[in-house]
Structure 1
Amino acid sequence: MSVERVDVAVVGAGAMGAATAWHLARAGRDVEVFEQFEPGHVRGASHGASRNFNVAYTEPEYLAWLRDAEVLWRELEAEADRPLLTTTVVVTHGPGVDHAATAAAISAAGLAAEVLDRHEAASRWPGLRFDGPVLHNPRAGRLDADASVAAFLSGAARAGARTRWNSAVTDIEVHGDDDVRFTATDAAGSRRVHARRLVCTAGAWTAKTLAGVRGATLPALRVTQEQPAHFRPLDAAASWPGFNHHPSADDAATAGFAAVVYGMQTPGQGLKAGWHAAGPEVDPDRRSFVPDPALTAALVRYASEWLPGVDATDVSEITCTYTSTVDARFVLERFGPVVVGAGFSGHGFKFTPVVGRTLAALAAA
């Protein structure tokens, strides 16, 4: 078996792996990205054309990351010469969130926030129904996920990084603090790769990829199949904010929700809406790609009750994976020569360039 040597190997060419490679390559590192599937595949969590750049956090560390992320997204846009982050506004409503406290935390972090009453919100965004106060974040918006991943990888390539598509990584072995070895297999056969660092950003395949790797102790990672959908807007020219709707078990109007609801406009596809982390647990190699009919029915019912600006009967479903930790905190760790980034699903995409920076710093140390 042939042997190849590289300074840093990145396993997984989704958003976080692509951003890590971008940072490393621009810093002059020798980087090779290994992706087990083809470009633009839909088996994981990074595909699609829309993600909310939502700033409705109360934790200072997340808010600081958001400030940095906005700067880095604009830097990537300028480098790629294409729009990636569109300022659309994001609104947060529902009884499951303290709007005033969240607005205060966001404002203290130097980001824009205001609380509107439901009448003012309804006059601005008639496609949504509100029954209480609404947190308005005017600097928030929508990210183009597919274009962002492509931009990171293209930028990394211009700086010298290489991406190996349809190249599966197995048999990872740690041989020292600066020595990790693995087998990469593609259509041309298998070869052994020796690297100083390996960064695992394999999403739903993280636990499988690192199984048996000495010293790599991960928290529990739950992989689920999620199923957002696009609804046809009644007014094709209408402009929509991104939104998050937080239910409460004590509120009769929302107690029956399957989970928090999120949504945003996806140009050319309609209004995207979905349950946050409500799907069934799956094996990423054996999932059905078939939406759960009960969750679909509940989402259609939600649209009919809370999204007056769409035709709730005109729905197009999609599926993806979430990989989540118990407390929704990200895994950003180094175990000897192995760096791990995992557990981003549901709220990680907006932080992608900062996560990539963090993982690159761990790999460079």
Structure 2
Amino acid sequence: MATILDTVIIGGGAMGSAAAWALARRGRQVTLVEQFGPGHKIGASHGATRNLNPGYERPEYIAMLAESLALWDDLEQEGGTTLLERTGIASHGPHPRLPAVAAALEAAGIRAEMLSPDAAAERWRGIRFDRQVLHMPDGGQLNPDAALPVFQRLAAARGADIRHHTRVAALEILSDGVRLVLESATGTEVVTAAQAVVTAGAWTGKLLGRESGAGLQFPRLRVTQEQPAHFRVTDDGALWPGFNHYPGAGSAYANWYSPVYGMQTPGEGIKAGWHGVGPEVDPDRRNFLPEPVQLAALQSYARAWLPGVDADAFEAISCTYTSTPDEDFVLDRIGPVVIGAGFSGHGFKFTPVIGRILADLATGTRPAPEMFHASR
């Protein structure tokens, strides 16, 4: 006889762990299954740093930012662990919308100031600043390696069942729920649940898309292998905000693939990378090796724009992006399946808010904003 459950969360990365925390706080019975072990480096939710970049102009994202800042504080207090270092974020370059972003943030009570490149360089001499600088003091670096265990520990303390090394071999949508075949070291188990919350990252398409038995319709999810690098710091006295550099036209931006993001990772160096332009991959068949042309271009960027690092002393790292065509997330409910996917390389800062939205969808409390609907 199949085990009968209330809510099964498939995928124990950032968003699934946050959904488990949010649902457990509401007293719901939750089972979270994750195919890999704790702290694995195969998906998108590992590493010691992610930028909490407040640089949004759209009101939906700004509202999520404000809520996210409060929820990260709640999580730190409840978990007794520091998760956010408020180094600030400095975005620069000839992006025409930076002043409008500053105005939108200030109107929402999120601090922002425009600086000249010279003024910014006086504060952060490890970076060569370009044209104009938007400084956002409320931003900083989040720690995924610390955050995921806190989400899961607090969820488990409220009764959530957290199962690592448990793979969903099959998902069948029923008229009144879902049937799942779970594989683990102890064998195969068939469970039915009132609903499934799918936060499977790069594996979402395989589990729910057209090629799967579920065949649900949602925006195409493009899985890429991203290849940032940690560069060795040469100026030990320099202070480092998180940063984003937006290119313009002209020879100064030749061989750029995208905007560049970066931050300091304590003990590892200055992380810098292109955004969402790595090779498209099957998440089960990655080689984890840097694409040499993009890596060489990233080194050239570091030589030109990061005077505080050694561009020839670095360690390449690897993660996945799962991106939608418009880079807006997929947060929706289709029958008994709640989908959280397509975070497009900018979702981690919103993790506790996304957990709340997924819990709302699972409990029927309220829908997600229309911009995140699967049918958009």
Structure 1 pair 8/339, CA: closer, same or farther in 2 (3 Å)?
same
Correspondence 1:282-361 to 2 at 5 A: 282-361=281-360
Q: Which residue of 2 aligns with 1:219?
A: 219
The CA deviation at 1:97 is 4.2
> 2:137 aligned with 1:138, yes or no?
yes
Q: Name the aligned partner's letter for residue 233 of structure 1.
A: V
Correspondence 1:32-181 to 2 at 5 A: 32-176=31-175, 178-181=176-179
Secondary structure of the residue aligned to 1:58 is coil
Q: RMSD value over aligned CA atoms? A: 1.2
**For residues 152-172 of structure 1, what are the alpha-carbon distances to aligned partners after superposition, in whole Å with 9 as ceiling and x for unaligned?**
111111111011111110221
The CA deviation at 1:130 is 1.1
Correspondence 1:176-325 to 2 at 5 A: 176=175, 178-211=176-209, 212-214=212-214, 216-248=216-248, 250-325=249-324
**For residues 261-306 of structure 1, what are the alpha-carbon distances to aligned partners after superposition, in whole Å with 9 as ceiling and x for unaligned?**
0000111111110000110000000011111011111111110110
Secondary structure of the residue aligned to 1:244 is strand
Q: Name the aligned partner's letter for residue 321 of structure 1.
A: T
Maintained 8 Å contact 1:215/1:336 = no
Q: Which residue of 1 aligns with 2:369?
A: none
Maintained 8 Å contact 1:92/1:135 = yes
Instruction: Determine the C-alpha separation between the residues in 1 that align with 2:314 and 2:214.
Output: 47
Q: Name the aligned partner's letter for residue 223 of structure 1.
A: V
Instruction: Determine the C-alpha separation between the residues in 1 that align with 2:240 and 2:337.
Output: 42
Maintained 8 Å contact 1:95/1:251 = no
**For residues 29-70 of structure 1, what are the alpha-carbon distances to aligned partners after superposition, in whole Å with 9 as ceiling and x for unaligned?**
110001011111111000000000000111011011000000
Maintained 8 Å contact 1:45/1:321 = yes
**For residues 193-221 of structure 1, what are the alpha-carbon distances to aligned partners after superposition, in whole Å with 9 as ceiling and x for unaligned?**
11011000000000101144546212100
**For residues 130-150 of structure 1, what are the alpha-carbon distances to aligned partners after superposition, in whole Å with 9 as ceiling and x for unaligned?**
131100001111100111111
**For residues 322-358 of structure 1, what are the alpha-carbon distances to aligned partners after superposition, in whole Å with 9 as ceiling and x for unaligned?**
0000000000011100000000131100000000100
Q: Name the aligned partner's letter for residue 72 of structure 1.
A: L
Structure 1 pair 271/226, CA: closer, same or farther in 2 (3 Å)?
same
Instruction: Determine the C-alpha separation between the residues in 2 that align with 1:161 and 1:246.
Output: 42
The CA deviation at 1:3 is 2.0
Secondary structure of the residue aligned to 1:231 is strand
Residue-pair matches, total: 362
Q: Calculate the TM-score normalised by the size of structure 2.
A: 0.94
Deviates more, 1:113-122 or 1:210-219: 210-219
Q: Name the aligned partner's letter for residue 241 of structure 1.
A: P
Secondary structure of the residue aligned to 1:332 is strand
Instruction: Determine the C-alpha separation between the residues in 2 that align with 1:236 and 1:181.
Output: 55
Instruction: Determine the C-alpha separation between the residues in 2 that align with 1:110 and 1:301.
Output: 38
Secondary structure of the residue aligned to 2:301 is helix
Q: Calculate the TM-score normalised by the size of structure 1.
A: 0.97
Structure 1 pair 268/67, CA: closer, same or farther in 2 (3 Å)?
same
Maintained 8 Å contact 2:255/2:297 = no
The CA deviation at 1:6 is 1.3
Q: Name the aligned partner's letter for residue 247 of structure 2.
A: P
Return structure 1 stretches of 4+ with deviation > 3 angstroms.
211-215
The CA deviation at 1:80 is 1.0
Instruction: Determine the C-alpha separation between the residues in 1 that align with 2:101 and 2:25.
Output: 36
Secondary structure of the residue aligned to 2:360 is helix
**For residues 45-101 of structure 1, what are the alpha-carbon distances to aligned partners after superposition, in whole Å with 9 as ceiling and x for unaligned?**
000000000001110110110000000000000111110011001000111342211
Q: Name the aligned partner's letter for residue 62 of structure 2.
A: L
Structure 2: give runs of 5+ residues left out of the alignment. Answer: 365-376
Maintained 8 Å contact 1:44/1:204 = yes
Instruction: Determine the C-alpha separation between the residues in 1 that align with 2:312 and 2:79.
Output: 38
Instruction: Determine the C-alpha separation between the residues in 1 that align with 2:363 and 2:109.
Output: 31
Secondary structure of the residue aligned to 1:253 is helix
Structure 1 pair 56/333, CA: closer, same or farther in 2 (3 Å)?
same
Maintained 8 Å contact 1:275/1:299 = yes
**For residues 9-46 of structure 1, what are the alpha-carbon distances to aligned partners after superposition, in whole Å with 9 as ceiling and x for unaligned?**
00000000000000001110110001011111111000
Secondary structure of the residue aligned to 2:182 is strand
Secondary structure of the residue aligned to 1:22 is helix
Deviates more, 1:99-108 or 1:251-260: 251-260
Instruction: Determine the C-alpha separation between the residues in 2 that align with 1:103 and 1:140.
Output: 13
Instruction: Determine the C-alpha separation between the residues in 2 that align with 1:32 and 1:131.
Output: 48
